[in-house]
C-alpha cells in the first residue's frame, strides 16, 4: 500500500466538498477519478498533495512514500504557452522538490530528465522552445516533468483536456507504459464518463450523495 485515505472530509472554510471518503492506493494501481463538475475531484487531489488540510479524517502514507515523491500534473499548468524556456529546462524543473538546499541541478537531476524525455519519446525536441510545441507535445513534456519527481506515484488532473483524438490516444498509451512497464501508480481525474473507454484497474466515482470505489472490471 502506498497510502490510505481514511474517513476524509475536505472543503473550504466551513463548507465540506468531500465528505467521509475512504480508499487505499496500492503499488501499480491505475485509479480513474470521475464525477460531475464541482463534485470535488480536484479538491480531493489537493488534499492528497497537502495543499489543503483535512476537516476530518486523515491520509496515511507508507514509509516508502511522502508528498515530495509524488509527481503532479495539474489541469491548468503554471507554464504559460509563451514561457521562454526549452523543453529540457521545463522537465528539469520537476526535480526542484528533490534539490533541498542545492542551488543548481546535479548530474543525477540531468540524467533523470534525459531518461524521462526518452521514456516519453520527446528526447529529440529537448532543445526546442516550449512555446513552439503542439498541444500533444506540451502534454508529453509536462508529463516528463512530473515523471522527474517520482518513481512511485503520478497524479494527473484531466491531462487529456484540449487534446485531439490522436494525441489523446498517444498520451494514454504512454500512461499505460508508465503503469505496466515501470510500475508507477497513477491517479487520474477524467471527464470521460464512458467506463468502457477508461484506462486503469479501479474507478473512484464521486457523487453528490457519496462515492463509490470499485474495480473497473466489476463495473
More confident residue, 103 or 60: 60
Q: Which grid coordinates are listed for 56?
A: 476530518
pLDDT tens, position by position, 139-168: 999 999 999 999 999 999 999 888 888 998
Cβ pair 97, 46 in contact under 8 A: no
Report field, pTM of the whole predicted structure over 0.85: yes
Q: What's residue 53's pLDDT?
A: 97
Q: What's residue 87's pLDDT?
A: 96
User: Cell 516519453, residue?
Assistant: 120
- What is the arithmetic mean of pLDDT over 41-60? 97
Cβ pair 44, 126 in contact under 8 A: no
**pLDDT above 60: residue 196:** no
pLDDT tens, position by position, 84-126: 899 999 999 999 988 888 889 999 999 999 999 999 999 999 9
**pLDDT above 90: residue 62:** yes
Mean pLDDT across the chain: 91
Q: What's residue 205's pLDDT?
A: 94
**pLDDT above 80: residue 83:** no
Amino acid at each position: 500500500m502506498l497510502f490510505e485515505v481514511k474517513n476524509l472530509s475536505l472543503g473550504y472554510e466551513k463548507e465540506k466538498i468531500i465528505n467521509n471518503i475512504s480508499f487505499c492506493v496500492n503499488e501499480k494501481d491505475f485509479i480513474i477519478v470521475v464525477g460531475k463538475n464541482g463534485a470535488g475531484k480536484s479538491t480531493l487531489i489537493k488534499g492528497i498533495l497537502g495543499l489543503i488540510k483535512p476537516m476530518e479524517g486523515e491520509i496515511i502514507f507508507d514509509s516508502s512514500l511522502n508528498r515530495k515523491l509524488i509527481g503532479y500534473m495539474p489541469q491548468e499548468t503554471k507554464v504559460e504557452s509563451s514561457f521562454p524556456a526549452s523543453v529540457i529546462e521545463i522537465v528539469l524543473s520537476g526535480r526542484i522538490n528533490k534539490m533541498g538546499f542545492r542551488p543548481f541541478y546535479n548530474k543525477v537531476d540531468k540524467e533523470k530528465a534525459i531518461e524521462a524525455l526518452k521514456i516519453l519519446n520527446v528526447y529529440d525536441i529537448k532543445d526546442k522552445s516550449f512555446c513552439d510545441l503542439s498541444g500533444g507535445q506540451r502534454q508529453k513534456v509536462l508529463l516528463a516533468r512530473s515523471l522527474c519527481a517520482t518513481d512511485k506515484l503520478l497524479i494527473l488532473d484531466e491531462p487529456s483536456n484540449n487534446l485531439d483524438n490522436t494525441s489523446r490516444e498517444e498520451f494514454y498509451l504512454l500512461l499505460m507504459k508508465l503503469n505496466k512497464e515501470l510500475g508507477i501508480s497513477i491517479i487520474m481525474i477524467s471527464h470521460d464518463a464512458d467506463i468502457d473507454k477508461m484506462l486503469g484497474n479501479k474507478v473512484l466515482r464521486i457523487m453528490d450523495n457519496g462515492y463509490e470505489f470499485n474495480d473497473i472490471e466489476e463495473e
